[in-house]
Amino acid sequence: MTGITALAIHLPRLRLQRAAMAAAMGWLCPRGDTRGARTLAYWDEDPITMAVAAARACLAQAERNGVPEARTAVRALTFATTTPVFAEPQQAALVHAALRLPEATRAQDVGGTMRCGLLALHAALESSEPALLTAADMPLNTPGGTAEMRYSDGGVSALVGGGPDLLTYRGGASLSAPFIERYRAPDRSLPTDWEERWVREEGFLDLVPRAIAEALGKAQLSAESIDHFVLPCVIPGAAKAVAQAAGLSRAKLAQPLDLECGDTGAAHALVMLARAMEDMRPGERVLVAQFGQGATALVLEATDAITGFPAAASAALADGVAEANYLKLPIFRGLMPWERGLRGRFPVNEALTTAYRNSEALLGFVGGRSPETGQVQFPPSRLAVSEAGFFAETQQPWPLADLGGTVATATADRLAFSRSPPNCYGLVDIPGGARLMIDFTDPDAERLSPGDAVRFVFRIKDLDERTGFRRYFWKAVAAPASPAAA
């Protein structure tokens, strides 16, 4: 049977402290538990960019594990989210382009329930073709409410098939039910959650154990044979109660990561799994379940390859920047009007014809390279550059996203418009001779200086708040100190 070949997560670096959230809104909505922090996506991050970041890490992990053709072998791409950026167009098409996947790859969006990520994984595991799953969420919740503290932002990606497995699929089950615990109309930005006790007693404790029992039956395993149990749930104590109801007496409950990052919605079952895999040994079995208009349960078994699984999830959890300014949440999400100044009052008009014709360069970040001189340039052109001048020469496509670069000049501009001042940018030298002006991003962007190593990330370039359209391009962030932190 097939299984999971690679699994990687992406967590935004900002960690909004719950104590700061309570201090800002506590006068209106007093809250009890204010421990820990939740992730907060930077202004130029969204579910699409987080899915791309997780998928890039996932494909790189597969290549390090001896699957050199992981990218070209993918035949199906699924993007799962409950917080889509667009109703139209298809978001998976943008993820597909940014990852430079084969044109023949079938791409699709799924959503509607926080279980959509695990449902997509279930479908991929039941299929026989190499598939890449990406899931990312940025749940919006009513300001000052408990859900705003509990839910957070993040992404995950899993590669199924096409190489040696980390986890072999033993069997799974998905049950559907019209149990609505959270709802939101298409024209509403904020959801409504139903009463916790009802969701816990009649939802989790009824549907999840039944899905677990069916999955164990298909795997021909007993509940006592499960070593680890993964179940995301923001209701305190619910996961432990489900484990007891399902007879998982030996299983170790996976860390909910509520204090470290919060619940990342459609991504969280696999975010928790990635962290749990760091502690697994060959032969151990894990049961991953999730609730939402039914329940899904998957049984997986660790192979010998699990010993080489990187501690990247732990590194991502630790690589946070504490944020005590609650107002960044509503400002970054567009929930609060604010004075932008004259420089912020400009329209963003995207020429869709030009964007399509140059999509390989703009979304895939593909430049050109001269086969004769080795000179790399961006944007790609039919005119090659050399010390002797410009001349017509055939260039080969040259992907730049994974090369990284070195800062040549750096500017932190407090006069230019930015949703998180200052506006940081500079010239970056790329291996092969290319030099380009590029934006710097992330909370510590203004610390970048000449000589610093950077890596490239796929982010929002511009937002048109009249139409809801957004442009994407690549930006530079500080390169991690170690590969595990990438």
Question: What is the Cα–Cα distance from 122 to 128, expressed in whole angstroms?
Answer: 12
Give the DSSP letter string of 409-462.
--EEESSS--SSSSEEEEEEEETTTEEEEEEB-STTGGG--TT-EEEEEEEEEE
pLDDT tens for the chain, residues 1 to 486: 689 999 999 999 999 999 999 999 888 877 777 899 999 999 999 999 999 999 999 999 999 988 888 999 999 999 999 999 999 999 999 999 999 999 999 999 999 999 999 999 999 999 989 999 999 999 988 888 889 999 999 999 999 998 899 999 999 999 999 999 998 998 888 888 888 899 999 999 999 999 999 999 999 999 999 999 999 999 999 999 999 999 998 999 999 999 999 999 999 999 999 999 999 999 999 999 999 999 999 999 999 999 999 999 999 999 999 999 999 999 998 888 887 776 665 666 667 888 888 899 999 999 999 887 888 999 888 777 666 665 666 788 999 999 999 999 999 999 888 889 999 999 999 999 899 999 999 999 999 999 999 999 999 998 887 788 889 999 999 998 754 444
For residue 172, what pLDDT is reported?
97
Strands 396-399 and 389-392: unpaired
| Side-chain-facing half-sphere of 355: CA atoms under 13 Å | 13
Angle between helices 91-99 and 47-64 (to 10 degrees): 40
Q: What is the pLDDT of residue 398?
A: 93
Q: Parallel, antiparallel, or unpaired: how do β-strands 376-377 and 366-369 relate?
A: antiparallel
pTM of the full structure: 0.93
SS3 241: helix
Pairing of strands 192-193, 76-80: unpaired
Helix axes 268-277, 116-126, angle to 10 degrees: 60
Asked whether 295 and 115 are in contact (CB, 8 A), the reply is: yes
Q: Which of 21, 25, 24, 55 is nearest to 39 (CA)?
A: 21
